[in-house]
């Protein structure tokens, strides 16, 4: 099939925007070649996985436990100071990981990888329910999401489902088989959160071919899986519900272990019904809130034929004419708006990493919250909304305008000439009205802000 490839549309819809030295991909083949190659952005701006993150969550939790145990003793003040030092260090780690994430998007030649990472991290959304996990969300993406965006979907399902961040967020760590050794002794019970979201959100959709009984049986199968900051990730047979489980027609051994759980996750992730849900979500995210049925069917077919090869599915999306409709109905969500703006301004990645804490707070953290997307805090396990109406709100628009009028002059000195910037940010076919507004602005700051707040920049 012949597609109406457009470098500017490719950079907007499937990337993180244009920049002074990034005019847009040359072709679909070039995009797939970059995606298939080494992850250069992650190499340049590495983010540690959970096991390598310093300070570790366990260190903080041990410090907090020691301080609580020493309550009322002379040592408590020193232990409280130590706990505070860990808390501050973990905040620094979280900030630096956020800045590295932004630097990757701003400087990469492989914008599609950044977009896919954001999409899949949102598909398997987690958030921190305690302070100890706040600095573990970016490592979760490093561990469970980014390595698999060009791999097999089933591998990502296993990695995300069994990651400590997911186990804690969806309360798997407190789920115990009622008839297990621990359950009978302590009266602990089954928690179905992870099993339910796995089936409803991650695999099949809310109207998928499963029943409440399947949710319960899967929850029972998962009961041995847990995480404890003292022992780390583990499969504990004394917490596992005894007996065989039957999930969506397939029976799993009464002598379940971690490999049984992984096999069940792979079985579920490779069922043919999963393809339609994943294909629809991809098309809705990248192309239109009203997905073209032929495009969804094409992606679903490739997903089924390849057993969930995500590189092949991505290539199928980029190779379909319906993915290249000229009308841009999607709206850049706030994090992408900020990343694309910095990219258009030509901000250097190292300058982002060296941003003053006050500037990070004033121009990254607070604005994202005002725009409706507080950092790493989706409202639920279904992640961020896709529809344009959720982002184009009075408060959200005000936040975007304030950011566009103020942040550029903090990030770039001197600001580019708006008459040049309009072509850099919007491409050679920038709308005449935006070009005129930029050239007529009284100040450079105002001209840059007008370009960044224009519908032509906001829509993808």
pLDDT band with cut points at 50, 70 and 90 for residue 66: very high
Look-up: residue for tokens 């990070």?
360
Say if 246 falls within a structural domain: yes
Provide the total of helices (H) and of strands (E) in the chain, helices listed first. Answer: 26, 4
Does 203 have pLDDT greater than 80?
yes
Provide the whole-model pTM: 0.97
What does the alpha-carbon distance between residue 228 and residue 33 come to, in Å, rounded to a whole number?
41
User: For residue 423, which phi and psi values (nearest 5 degrees)?
Assistant: -75, -35
Report how far apart, in Å, the C-alpha atoms of 248 and of each of 19, 111, 126 are: 49, 38, 25
Say if 184 falls within a structural domain: yes
Residue 71 Cα to chain centre, angstroms = 40
* Residues 315-349 pLDDT 10s: 999 999 999 999 999 999 999 999 999 999 999 99
Report how far apart, in Å, the C-alpha atoms of 408 and of each of 71, 204, 369, 450 are: 49, 42, 18, 12
pLDDT of res. 269: 98
Rounded percentage of the chain residues whose pLDDT exceeds 70:
100
Say if 63 falls within a structural domain: no
Angle formed by the axes of helices 111-123 and 310-318, nearest 10°: 120
pLDDT of res. 254: 83
244 three-class SS: coil
Say if 302 falls within a structural domain: no
Q: Which domain holds residue 233?
A: 168-269
Alpha helices in 24-162 (DSSP H): 28-36, 40-44, 57-69, 76-107, 111-123, 137-140, 153-161
Say if 214 falls within a structural domain: yes
What does the alpha-carbon distance between residue 246 and residue 161 come to, in Å, rounded to a whole number?
19
Contact predicate 287/307, CB 8 Å: no
Domain count for the chain, please give it: 1
Say if 228 falls within a structural domain: yes
Say if 261 falls within a structural domain: yes
What is the β-pairing status of strands 245-247 and 250-252? antiparallel
Does 187 have pLDDT greater than 80?
no
Contact predicate 222/194, CB 8 Å: yes
Strand partners, 235: 225
Tokens representing 179 are 């008839």
Say if 234 falls within a structural domain: yes
Does 290 have pLDDT greater than 90?
yes
């Amino acid at each position: 099939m012949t597609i109406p490839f457009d470098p500017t549309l490719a950079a907007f819809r499937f990337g993180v925007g244009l920049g002074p030295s990034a005019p847009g991909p040359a072709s679909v083949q070039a995009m797939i070649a970059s995606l298939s190659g080494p992850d250069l952005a992650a190499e340049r701006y590495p983010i540690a996985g959970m096991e390598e993150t310093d300070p570790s969550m366990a260190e903080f939790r041990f410090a907090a436990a020691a301080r609580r145990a020493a309550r009322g003793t002379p040592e408590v003040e020193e232990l409280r100071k130590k706990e505070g030092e860990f808390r501050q260090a973990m905040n620094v780690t979280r900030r630096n990981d956020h800045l590295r994430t932004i630097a990757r998007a701003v400087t990469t030649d492989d914008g599609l990888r950044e977009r896919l990472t954001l999409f899949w991290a949102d598909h398997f959304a987690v958030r921190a329910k305690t302070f100890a996990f706040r600095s573990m969300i970016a490592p979760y993406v490093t561990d469970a999401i980014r390595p698999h965006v060009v791999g097999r979907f089933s591998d990502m399902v296993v990695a995300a489902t069994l990651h400590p961040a997911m186990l804690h967020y969806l309360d798997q760590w407190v789920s115990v088989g009622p008839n297990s050794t621990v359950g009978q002794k302590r009266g602990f019970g089954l928690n179905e959160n992870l099993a339910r979201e796995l089936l409803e959100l991650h695999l099949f959709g809310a109207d998928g071919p499963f029943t409440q009984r399947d949710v319960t049986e899967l929850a029972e199968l998962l009961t041995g899986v847990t995480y404890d900051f003292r022992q780390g990730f583990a499969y504990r047979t004394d917490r596992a519900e005894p007996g065989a489980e039957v999930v969506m027609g397939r029976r799993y051994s009464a002598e379940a272990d971690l490999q049984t759980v992984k096999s069940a996750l792979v079985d579920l992730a490779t069922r043919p019904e999963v393809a339609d849900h994943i294909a629809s979500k991809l098309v809705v995210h990248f192309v239109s809130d009203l997905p073209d049925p032929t495009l969804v069917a094409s992606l679903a077919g490739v997903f089924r034929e390849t057993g969930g090869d995500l590189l092949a599915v991505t290539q199928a999306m980029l190779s379909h004419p319906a993915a290249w409709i000229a009308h841009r109905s999607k709206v850049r969500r706030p994090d992408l708006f900020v990343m694309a703006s910095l990219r258009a301004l030509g901000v250097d990645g190292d300058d982002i990493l060296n941003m003053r804490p006050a500037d990070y707070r004033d121009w990254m953290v607070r604005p994202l919250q005002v725009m409706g997307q507080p950092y790493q805090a989706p409202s639920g396990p279904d992640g961020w909304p896709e529809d344009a109406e959720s982002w184009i709100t009075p408060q959200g628009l005000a936040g975007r305008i304030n950011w566009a009028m103020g942040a550029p002059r903090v990030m770039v000195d001197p600001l580019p000439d708006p008459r040049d910037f309009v072509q850099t940010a919007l491409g050679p076919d920038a709308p005449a009205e935006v070009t005129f507004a930029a050239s007529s602005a009284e100040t450079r700051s105002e001209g840059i802000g007008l370009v960044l707040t224009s519908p032509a920049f906001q829509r993808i």
